[in-house]
Chain A
Amino acid sequence: MQIARVVGTVVSTQKHRKFEGAKLLLVQPITLEDKPRGATLLAVDAVGAGVNEKVLIVIEGRAAAEAVGRKGTPVDAAIIGIVDTVDIQE
């Protein structure tokens, strides 16, 4: 799993039917220092996250499909939690 920040929303009418009703958000993976890391991704929202929130994402197909709650969804990333705090003890 990775920590990311929600940076935007995506609207798509013509999409695979398994995506119907799913919310798509643009997420930017970030480092522990809150710096952007890597490419901005599209993730299906499973927890009701919003723009600017720090979230926990999975970037793996089976886990993401489980988050969406529909088997066989062609999805590879999902938001599975909203991060309250990250505590690094080092």
Chain B
Amino acid sequence: MQLARVIGNVVVTRKDENLANRTLLVLQPIAADGTAVGRTLVAVDAVGAGVGETVFFVRGKEASFPFFPTEVPADAGVVGIVDHYDVEQSLQP
């Protein structure tokens, strides 16, 4: 999994039927120091996250597990909202 900030929503009307009623979020992965790292991506939401929140997301087909037995065609999914995280400063790269 990776930490990310939710920076937007994607509205898609015409889509795979197994994506019906699913929220799609635009994520910016972040490094442990909170700075943006890597490309933004779209992830399916499993926990009710919203714009501005720090979340963690899973990559791969595991993103669809929260919706079992519906086979959601997703390769990234938000699976938790982060309350806070602590990084040992001496271990910062």
Contact = CB atoms under 8 A, between A and B. Distances in A.
Do the two chains bind? Answer: yes
Interface of A: 5, 7-16, 18-19, 24, 26, 28, 36, 39-43, 51-52, 60-61, 65, 72-77
A36 B92 CA distance: 9
Nearest to B93: A36
Interface of B: 1-3, 29, 31-32, 37-38, 46-48, 56, 58-66, 68, 77, 79-88, 91-93
B87 to A, nearest CB: 4
A15 B85 contact: no
A10 B62 CA distance: 20
Contact of A8 (B47, B64, B65, B86): B86
Contacts of A75: 1, 58, 62, 79
Contact of A11 (B32, B46, B47, B84): B84
B1 A41 contact: yes
Given A7-B92, A28-B93, A51-B88, A42 B62 contact: no
Contact of B79 (A36, A60, A74): A74
Given A36-B93, A74-B64, 4 more contacts: A13-B83, A14-B48, A43-B1, A73-B65
Given A26-B32, A39-B38, A76 B59 contact: yes
Contact of B85 (A8, A13, A73): A8
